[in-house]
Structure 1
């Protein structure tokens, strides 16, 4: 009998967006966001994280964030632009993760707050060192990245199922 595989969920909040008169879904990245997104990609690459699948909200700011992160990664994962991530509740995000094929080891999810922070916080049944406190103190700022591991099937992703093993933010 083989051991359950260890999987990773990388939760990324989109980079800093402009506040403008356009519809919220259409808001582009601000200059600071265009600077921070590639830095987040370099952090992922430096941490040795090579996701197999990217689930990205269809909002302009999340798609732009991902577009700027990808060139920094050692390989481009399959990317799925997912309408359900825009304004998704915690339960909706977990349901989406439960649909991921078990052939996928690591997923990066590029989304929005409050969902991104809620997901990382809810899944973190355990955390290395003071990572959970640091993440929660920070409020999960734009371009923040939380890395969680868990064992088992994607269908088993639920509250407390993971371990927070890394948290990074560009200005923290």
Structure 2
């Protein structure tokens, strides 16, 4: 999952950017979608940037989470290694940033979703996979963006 919409101002520290009101609402809707769809993770790996921590909090999930500084603007190879190194749960949420999160999504899925936003991976884009850590590839289960969900 990519974090939801964040505030932006010239000269602002990127790591400290907060979610906008829109981003808060998007994360709440995504959390509801995850629960209703049966995609509730057992554990989460979350970038320690303010906007990713706030996105995770607004999802209102009950799983534990590890906040990781190394996930902030991480490249796809690092994100993939973080996924493979995690043995916390059978179901994992990775909450990070573009371009790394979009790149790891496209390298993991065998058959990409037929969704126009998959390759742009907008804020809040959420890919659900059935992942085989031994084989390194995954089957598509679901993909959504906040724009797909009713307010």
- In the superposition, the TM-score normalised over structure 2's length comes to 0.90
CA shift, 1:113, in A, is 0.8
In structure 2, runs of 5+ residues without a counterpart are none
| RMSD over aligned Cα atoms | 1.6
| SS of equivalent to 1:148 | strand
Distance, in Å, in 1 between the alignment partners of 2:44 and 2:114 is: 23
| SS of equivalent to 2:118 | helix
| SS of equivalent to 2:80 | helix
Number of residue equivalences: 147
2:140 equivalent to 1:164: yes
- In the superposition, the TM-score normalised over structure 1's length comes to 0.79
Between Structure 1 and Structure 2, which shows a larger proportion of strand residues?
1
2:31 equivalent to 1:41: yes
Q: Determine the structure 1 residue equivalent to 2:98.
A: 113
Q: Determine the structure 2 residue equivalent to 1:15.
A: 4
CA shift, 1:126, in A, is 2.7
User: Highest CA radius of gyration, 1 or 2?
Assistant: 1
Distance, in Å, in 2 between the alignment partners of 1:165 and 1:64 is: 25
CA shift, 1:24, in A, is 0.4
Of structures 1 and 2, the one with the larger relative CO (CA 8 A, separation 6+) is 1
Distance, in Å, in 2 between the alignment partners of 1:133 and 1:44 is: 18
CA shift, 1:52, in A, is 1.1
CA deviation vs aligned residue, 1:12-61 (integer Å, no higher than 9, x gap): 11010011232100000111101111001001001111211100000000
In structure 1, runs of 5+ residues without a counterpart are 1-11
